[in-house]
């Protein structure tokens, strides 16, 4: 397993992280089994995946609870990143969405940060968190001053309760505001994959290079399309969150599937699967990239571990990008 260092923190991690969204189950992911999720986490740890990414929102705390059970007695082997600021137990903040029968609000005030931090510690069975993220920056109309959020985060770090600070789903202006307020940011997290890279590569990766931050890429498989297992006759349940995603829309999905099928020649050349290709392409973008690989079965994290070992030559990295641009021209011509 290849390793990297998160920003300036000195924290050493595997180049892929175990993604904890699906193990939250419920409205986040159907068909998960808690015992199997625990086995998946432990399989990852046994085979060198030492970073786990989660959030209180995933299963309304259930993901953190499962991780806590899985790492019991092994805390020193694990780097945990979790988040704050998406609350459902009180209607204070900016309304975000309804999910699983709960109304969710964005709230990054100091009292909420401290309260959520303590709850995460209890669920995870730990007394510190390695990387702590605001799940989303403040949004109107409940605009918490950046200084308040940063002060609360830096206090947690100075007290030794967290080792590093990240920002999730932020825009460049959010990052710069946090930095200007004195926040020590070591890692940025956003969606990034073969099909969706323009925003990240135009706006976020330059910031990482300028300030020495790492990048935490989530949704590397575009919720399954990039695995090659999705066929054109696949029907989403009306309640499935993927209905809102660009490449899962009925007019775009057939194009995406044809594109993915067309990558088989590059897979054959590199003796890898389509899943391997998707993860390896991201890792090829820089040694500061860490890829979050969601899993709730040992076989899934086993596949992700194999993907982390695939190193693509530059000509294949560039060829994939060229084909994506052709795909997007095709999509735009149909609109």
Kindly list the catalytic residues.
Answer: 58
Q: What are the residues facing 215 on neighbouring strands?
A: 188, 289
Closest to 34 in 3D by CA, of 14, 53, 12, 59: 59
- Give the integer Cα–Cα distance in Å for 112 and 225: 36
Rg (the chain; Cα; Å): 19
Length of the chain: 335
Burial 253-268 (b: 16+ CB within 10 A, else e): beebbebbeebeebbe
Q: Do residues 164 and 6 make contact, with C-beta atoms less than 8 angstroms apart?
A: yes
Q: Are 99 and 29 in contact (CB under 8 A)?
A: no
CA 231 to chain centre: 25
DSSP state of 25: -
Q: What is the DSSP string of 153-173?
A: HHHHHHTTSEEEEEEES--HH
* Nearest-5° Cα angle at 227, 68 to 221: 55
Q: How far apart are CA 137 and CA 167, in angstroms?
A: 8
Residues 46, 286, 83: CA angle, nearest 5 degrees: 60
C-alpha–C-alpha distance, residues 83 and 131, integer Å:
8
SS3 19: strand
> Alpha carbon of 164 to those of 97, 174, 198, 210: distances in Å?
28, 18, 27, 18
């Amino acid at each position: 397993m290849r390793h990297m260092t998160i920003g300036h923190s000195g924290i050493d991690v595997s180049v892929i992280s175990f993604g904890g969204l699906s193990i939250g189950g419920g409205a986040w992911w159907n068909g998960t089994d808690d015992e199997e999720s625990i086995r998946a986490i432990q399989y990852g740890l046994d085979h060198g995946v030492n970073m786990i990414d989660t959030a209180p929102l995933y299963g309304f705390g259930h993901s953190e609870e499962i991780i806590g059970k899985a790492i019991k007695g092994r805390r020193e082997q694990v780097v945990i990143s979790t988040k704050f600021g998406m609350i459902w137990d009180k209607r204070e903040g900016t309304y975000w969405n309804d999910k699983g029968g709960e109304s969710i609000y964005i709230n990054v005030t100091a009292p909420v940060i401290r309260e959520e931090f303590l709850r995460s510690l209890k669920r995870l069975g730990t007394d510190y968190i390695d990387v702590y993220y605001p799940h989303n920056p403040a949004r109107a109309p409940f605009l918490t001053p950046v200084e308040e959020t940063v002060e609360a985060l830096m206090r947690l770090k100075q007290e030794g309760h967290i080792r590093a600070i990240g920002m999730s789903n932020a825009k460049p202006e959010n990052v710069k505001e946090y930095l200007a307020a004195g926040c020590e940011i070591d890692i940025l997290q956003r969606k990034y994959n073969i099909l969706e890279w323009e925003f990240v590569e135009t706006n976020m990766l330059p910031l990482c290079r300028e300030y020495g931050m790492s990048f935490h890429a989530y949704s590397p498989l575009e919720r399954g399309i990039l695995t090659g297992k999705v066929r054109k006759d696949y029907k989403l349940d009306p309640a499935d969150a993927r209905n809102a995603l660009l490449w899962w829309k009925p007019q775009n999905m057939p194009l995406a599937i044809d594109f993915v099928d067309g990558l088989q020649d590059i897979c054959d050349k590199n003796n890898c699967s389509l899943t391997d290709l998707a993860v390896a392409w991201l890792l090829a973008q820089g040694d500061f990239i860490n890829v979050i690989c969601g899993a709730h079965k040992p076989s899934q994290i086993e596949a992700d571990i194999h993907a982390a070992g695939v190193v693509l030559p530059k000509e294949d990295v560039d060829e994939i990008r060229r084909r994506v641009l052709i795909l997007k021209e095709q999509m735009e011509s149909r609109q």
